[in-house]
A and B are shown apart, each in its own frame.
Chain A
Amino acid sequence: MIAARLQSEPFDSAIVQAALLAGRTDLGAAVAFTGLVRADEGLVALTLEHYPAMTLAQMQAIAADAAGRWPDTIGTIIHRHGRLLPGDSIVLVVTASPHRAHAFAAAQFLMDWLKTKAPFWKREEWADGTTRWVEAKGSDDAAVERW
């Protein structure tokens, strides 16, 4: 089971991981990845717009796909929306499995798919007052192709 959550509030990676692992002694590996707002020179804020009716369902579909590929792996994915500041967390992927290979692979798969198949759009606000929509990267499409 890999659970998906969509929220504007911050998350605490350690608490999410502890909740995921609670009561389980058969797991030998946990991976936690956090995506952050990087303070590129002059960046004031990053606003994540999304498609409310579709976003969580799409995140759950991605989670179910990963759970099907790595049945011994459990996890939690959280994606934030709204206006975020440099240093803020954007996305969390926590996975756990009996051995590390599946936990690493599932975490990377989930991030690659969240980047290319979940309906979010980032808008940057710059110190000079301008705004700019982030362009999708070909390298993200390439990353998802390998799965």
Chain B
Amino acid sequence: MVHLLYFAWVREMVGTDSETITLPAELTTVAALLDWLATRSPGHAAALTDRSRIRIAVDQAFATAATPLNNPREIAIFPPVTGG
């Protein structure tokens, strides 16, 4: 089981701020996870259309599309940050 978190417009487009799901074992990278998530609902698909506007953190560390997934507990998906 992995806890997925969504922030900012990704949260709004997906339609929830979090969900807990079981990932298929063949999802071994962040890129594969995003491809799979995009099939879950029209909201997921819309939020994940433009991957250049998506950032990821795996277990609270920034990740890239190539980052491997080793039984992560928490994955956050969000736009590029705009603090400061």
Contacts A51-B7, A133-B8: A35 and B84 contacting too (C-beta < 8 A)?
A: yes
> Please, which residue of chain A has its CB at the minimum distance from the CB of B83?
A120
Max chain A C-beta neighbours (<10 A), residue from B74, B80, B81: B81
Q: What's the least CB distance linking B27 to chain A, in Å?
A: 22
A91 at the interface (CB under 8 A from B): yes
B82 and A119: CB pair below 8 A?
no
A83 at the interface (CB under 8 A from B): no
Q: What's the least CB distance linking A12 to chain B, in Å?
A: 19
Q: Name the one of B60, B62, B83 contacting A121, with C-beta atoms under 8 angstroms.
A: B83
Docked complex: B50-84 residues within 8 A CB-CB of A: 57, 60, 62, 74, 76, 78-84
A135 at the interface (CB under 8 A from B): yes
27 contacts between A and B (CB under 8 A): A48-B83, A50-B83, A51-B5, A51-B76, A51-B78, A53-B60, A90-B83, A91-B84, A111-B84, A115-B81, A115-B82, A115-B84, A116-B81, A117-B62, A118-B81, A119-B57, A119-B83, A120-B82, A120-B83, A121-B79, A122-B82, A122-B83, A133-B9, A133-B82, A134-B82, A136-B80, A136-B82
Q: What residues on A are CB-neighbors of B74 within 8 Å?
A: 53
Interface residues on A, range: 20 to 34
Q: What residues on A are CB-neighbors of B79 within 8 Å?
A: 121, 133, 136
